[in-house]
Amino acid sequence: MKKKFAVIASGWHFPLKFYEQIAEQKIPEDWEVDYFCISHRDPSFAVEEKKNIISQLGDGRLSQLDKILYKEIATVEKLESLGWQYFLEPNNSGDWAVTNQWLDRYPNYAEEYEILLLTHDDNFLIGDELFLDVLSGRFDTLIRNDYSINHMPEHVSKNYGPGDYSQQPFGEWNVISNAIVTGAANLRGSFDFFKTSVIKDMGGKFSMEGVWLDRTEETDNMGMQYHGESYPEGGLSMKDWEKPMQEFFKWANDLDLLDTVRYLSPIYRVSNYCLEGERGLLSNRATPQGKLYEKHVNDLDLENILG
């Protein structure tokens, strides 16, 4: 019997290119994959929105990538023709609510699937062998965020700094994230492989404790153009939706599981496999790590993509 893997994408920006790139990833012969889009708005809302945004971009490398990514906006019919199962859910708690909404639909997830990829849909994949490498364990080493394991008895005396990381043997893992959040002991939560066993161990849900921002029936890009600078009434920003990941790290910290979190890259938002969007755009550099991200994107060999 083949092992099963599921991709769960947060449907909001809907670049058809992203959904195609995921569906085109090679899969090991002993695995099979199911694709799910848990959407918080109909794809039609992204059409004029992205057309207007892309029309204002320049000619730099990141802007070129955005133009490729958003050349066409997906429809539900096109997603389904690619093999995606599409569900529209209320936007009541943001990105991590997407995973919880999927978990509610598939209560036997841990028996059916061994690994989940939890991903935003404003990412750009490079190449088609990421799933082969992860599912077949074709890595010799992966990155560890040493700063995140300072609390562990065997590491507490080493006093790792916020920029410290190391190459570690592939070995056992619970989470493989695309890239370290520079200077932080946390996951960004944009492109992460989770073993279903660790989700089951934490109770089968991501904690929504302290999450107050509810955008049910809202379809605009609140604060998407900039990082936490646009605030709705009541003073809440989209950073409110980062709390579930902070709660996950507290839980993993208490159980000494952070040494089982690995990364494909030590550089914020960029690996040799995936570039992560920021509020919908690859070209958005409005974070403290933005210049570092841009430098490393410019260092990548992307000529086969950019032409």
Q: What are the residue ranges spanned by the domains of the chain?
A: 3-306
% pLDDT > 70, the chain: 95
The pLDDT of residue 76 is above 90: yes
CA distance 141 to 138: 9
Task: For residue range 121-138, list pLDDT tens digits in order.
Answer: 999 999 999 999 999 999
Query: CATH second-level architecture of 3-306?
Result: Alpha-Beta Complex (3.90)
- If pLDDT is split at 50, 70 and 90, which confidence band does 215 have? confident
For range 196-209, the mean pLDDT = 92
CA distance 204 to 125: 28
Dihedral angle of Cα 209, 236, 52, 82, to the nearest 10 degrees: 10
Task: For residue range 171-201, list pLDDT tens digits in order.
Answer: 889 999 999 998 888 888 899 999 999 999 9
The pLDDT of residue 26 is above 80: yes
**Residues forming a β-bridge with 266:** none
DSSP per residue over 15-50, as a string?
A: BHHHHHHHHTS---TTEEEEEEEEESS-TTHHHHHH
CA distance 13 to 124: 12
- If pLDDT is split at 50, 70 and 90, which confidence band does 209 have? confident
- Give the single-character DSSP code of 132: H
CA distance 157 to 32: 44
Residue ranges of alpha helices (H) inside the chain are: 16-23, 45-55, 61-69, 76-81, 95-105, 109-112, 130-135, 196-201, 243-254, 290-299, 303-306
- If pLDDT is split at 50, 70 and 90, which confidence band does 289 have? confident
For range 131-159, the mean pLDDT = 92
CA distance 235 to 232: 6
Q: What is residue 105's predicted lDDT score, i.e. its pLDDT?
A: 97
Pairing of strands 261-265, 175-179: parallel
- The structure's pTM equals 0.93
Q: What is residue 185's predicted lDDT score, i.e. its pLDDT?
A: 82
With CA atoms as reference, report the closest residue to 182 among 158, 167, 162, 161. 162
Degrees to nearest 5, angle at CA 103 with 101 and 107: 135
Tokens at residue 84, please?
């995606």
